[in-house]
């Protein structure tokens, strides 16, 4: 479907849509319901952006009770619902459906409680990630998970995708930093999980919903941990003449028992793109570059920086630059945080992948990515959370070329298949969504998939909540892992593309 076309809706669908709108107006304010084509257009895609779909209706509930009543009504009438936060996701998890209500949590945008005694913040799901840190930084606290999109991504979306960030190596992803949540299940039931304590009795339902990608419930409140800022933090900017030397340095740092607050790696293409974008002072003659941040007490950080520098020199570092102050440290990070927008100078469009591998396989995987780049004749730039093996290859393409996206999808699928082959997984933090759903059988056999679907159905009997995401549109996953795509033509036959 062209991005200028609107879907054709038959009379039966129009009547049903009108009836749904009429019923929803009994539940929420009229102005919080969007159903005109011009109003729906801005919601047709998310951060993945390669796929588009106009939603049936968009609704903006203002409180948990309204969410409950909307879900209860949709469950009774067998109406599909797609939950959506800020729409910054990169796997199509919040992509609308033409026959589904798009449930937007944008009006849930308040911080409800800041509790320094228990070191936590209670926030509504529409609050941005960065806003949590800003709300507590005057007392020298912060929220640790920091995705590159933290200025825009919502905390509810972070929970749904189990988002990470550049400091996840030491401080963990969202699942390690969430204490409690209020959620609404598809039948309208409101449940509180966890709270301001570090653990709760019974099954770990909080762990189950974290990373569930909107398939199990709608999140209406989140309680997260906040941390005291470390006494000192310093970052080392280390250049290498080869990608292999950089990868070996990463492995040795971790093997020596050093756990940096963050350890990021970029290849030459991205070094140049990001340095042009923010003038971060990166080593432009290097083939690969590490940003290694150490934090803690002043004495501890000085000792760790010296140890990292020695390891870097041992692994043939071509340059080492240590931040002199906090301003310079943040400047080092500014380039990495701007990696995605910086790619705008490299190509009209980019496709951001997300796979995770054992650290020891880093060199092998990067070589394979370069081989595939030549095979598909598509440039690729690499940025990744090197310490935990989470790769983010950025494939450059032009969406105006009708064949380019299909070729890019194939390239990306081959990268992820190779990640699984070497002992990794399909995603580290972006989720499965629609992007990776047809690759799920690379990791799971049919029994594995069916067990996961049974868990979903135990909470959403009619599979109305975010259907078409995560699980393959297949009759069966073959035991040997081969994927048989429904329709036989594209990886995503049911999703319109540019």
Which pLDDT tens digits describe the chain residue by residue (498 residues)?
333 344 456 788 889 999 999 999 999 999 999 999 999 999 999 988 888 999 999 999 999 999 999 999 999 999 999 999 999 999 999 999 999 999 999 999 999 999 999 999 999 999 999 999 999 999 999 999 999 899 999 999 999 999 999 999 999 999 999 999 999 999 999 999 999 988 878 899 999 999 999 999 999 999 999 999 999 999 999 999 999 999 999 999 999 999 999 999 999 999 999 999 999 999 999 999 999 999 999 999 999 999 999 999 999 999 999 999 999 999 999 999 898 889 888 899 999 999 999 988 988 999 999 999 999 999 999 998 998 899 999 999 998 888 999 999 999 999 999 999 999 999 999 999 999 999 999 999 999 999 999 999 999 999 999 999 999 975 466 544 444 343 334 456 666 665
User: Is the domain 11-104 a CATH 3.40.30.10 member?
Assistant: no
Tell me if residue 331 falls in helix, strand or coil.
helix
Backbone angles phi, psi at 221, to 5 degrees: -160, 145
Cβ-in-10-Å burial (0-12, 13-18, 19+) of 199 comes to: exposed
Helix (H) or strand (E) holding 447: helix 446-459
Q: Report the 3 state secondary structure along 324-338.
A: CCHHHHHHHHHHHHC
Backbone angles phi, psi at 6, to 5 degrees: -110, 145
Give the C-alpha separation, 80 to 82, whole Å.
Answer: 7
CA dihedral in degrees (457, 478, 468, 428; nearest 10)? 90
CATH class of 348-439: alpha beta
Closest Cα to residue 429, out of 218, 158, 208, 217?
158
Please count the other Cβ atoms lying within 10 Å of the Cβ belonging to residue 412.
25
Architecture of domain 232-342: 2-Layer Sandwich (3.30)
Closest Cα to residue 304, out of 363, 242, 253?
253
The domains of the chain are located at 11-104, 111-228, 232-342, 348-439
Is residue 424 a contact partner of residue 358, using CB atoms and an 8 Å limit? yes
Is residue 368 a contact partner of residue 361, using CB atoms and an 8 Å limit? no
User: Is the domain 111-228 a CATH 3.30.870.10 member?
Assistant: no
Domains 111-228 and 348-439 share a fold: no
In 41-93, beta strands by DSSP E:
57-59, 80-84
CA dihedral in degrees (138, 140, 146, 149; nearest 10)? 20
Closest Cα to residue 231, out of 294, 296, 292?
296
Tell me if residue 43 falls in helix, strand or coil.
helix
């Amino acid at each position: 479907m062209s991005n200028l076309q609107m879907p054709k809706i038959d009379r039966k669908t129009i009547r049903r849509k009108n009836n749904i709108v009429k019923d929803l107006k009994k539940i929420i304010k009229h102005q919080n319901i969007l159903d005109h084509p011009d109003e729906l257009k801005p919601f047709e895609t998310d951060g993945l952006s390669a796929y588009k779909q106009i939603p049936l209706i968009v609704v903006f509930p203002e409180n948990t009770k309204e969410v409950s009543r909307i879900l209860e009504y949709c469950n009774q009438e067998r109406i599909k619902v797609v939950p959506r936060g800020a729409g910054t996701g990169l796997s199509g998890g919040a992509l609308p459906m033409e026959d589904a209500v798009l449930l937007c949590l944008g009006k849930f945008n308040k911080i409800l409680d800041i509790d320094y005694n228990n070191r936590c913040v209670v926030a509504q799901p529409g609050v941005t990630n960065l806003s949590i840190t800003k709300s507590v930084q005057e007392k020298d606290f912060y929220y640790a998970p920091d995705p590159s999109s933290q200025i825009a991504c919502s905390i509810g979306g972070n929970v749904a995708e189990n988002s990470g960030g550049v400091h996840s190596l030491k401080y963990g992803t969202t699942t390690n930093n969430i204490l409690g949540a209020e959620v609404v299940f598809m039948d309208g039931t409101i449940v509180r999980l966890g709270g301001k304590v570090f653990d709760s009795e019974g099954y770990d339902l909080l762990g189950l919903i974290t990373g569930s990608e909107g398939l199990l419930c709608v999140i209406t409140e989140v309680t997260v941990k906040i941390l005291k800022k470390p006494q000192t933090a310093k970052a080392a900017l280390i250049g290498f003449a080869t990608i292999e030397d950089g990868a070996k340095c990463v492995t040795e740092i971790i093997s020596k028992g050093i756990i940096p607050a963050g350890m990021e790696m970029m290849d030459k293409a991205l070094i140049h793109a990001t340095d042009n974008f923010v003038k971060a002072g990166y080593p432009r003659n290097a083939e690969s570059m590490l940003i290694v941040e150490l934090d803690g007490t002043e004495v501890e950080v000085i000792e760790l920086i010296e140890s990292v520098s020695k390891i870097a020199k041992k692994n043939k570092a071509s340059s080492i630059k240590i931040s002199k102050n906090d301003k310079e440290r943040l400047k080092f990070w500014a380039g990495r945080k701007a990696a995605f927008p910086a790619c705008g100078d490299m190509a009209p469009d980019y496709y951001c992948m997300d796979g995770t591998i054992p650290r020891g396989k880093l060199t092998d995987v990067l070589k394979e990515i370069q081989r595939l780049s030549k095979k598909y004749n598509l440039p690729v730039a690499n940025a990744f959370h090197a310490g935990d093996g989470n790769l983010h290859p950025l494939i450059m393409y032009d969406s105006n070329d009708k064949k380019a996206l299909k070729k890019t999808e194939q390239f990306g699928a081959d990268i992820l298949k190779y990640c699984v082959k070497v002992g990794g997984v399909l995603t580290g933090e972006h989720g499965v969504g629609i992007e990776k759903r047809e690759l799920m059988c690379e990791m799971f056999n049919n029994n594995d998939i069916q067990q996961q679907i049974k868990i979903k159905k135990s909470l959403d009997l009619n599979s109305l909540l975010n259907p078409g995401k995560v699980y393959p549109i297949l009759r069966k996953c073959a035991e040997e892992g081969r994927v048989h795509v429904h329709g036989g033509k594209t990886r995503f036959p049911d999703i319109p593309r540019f």
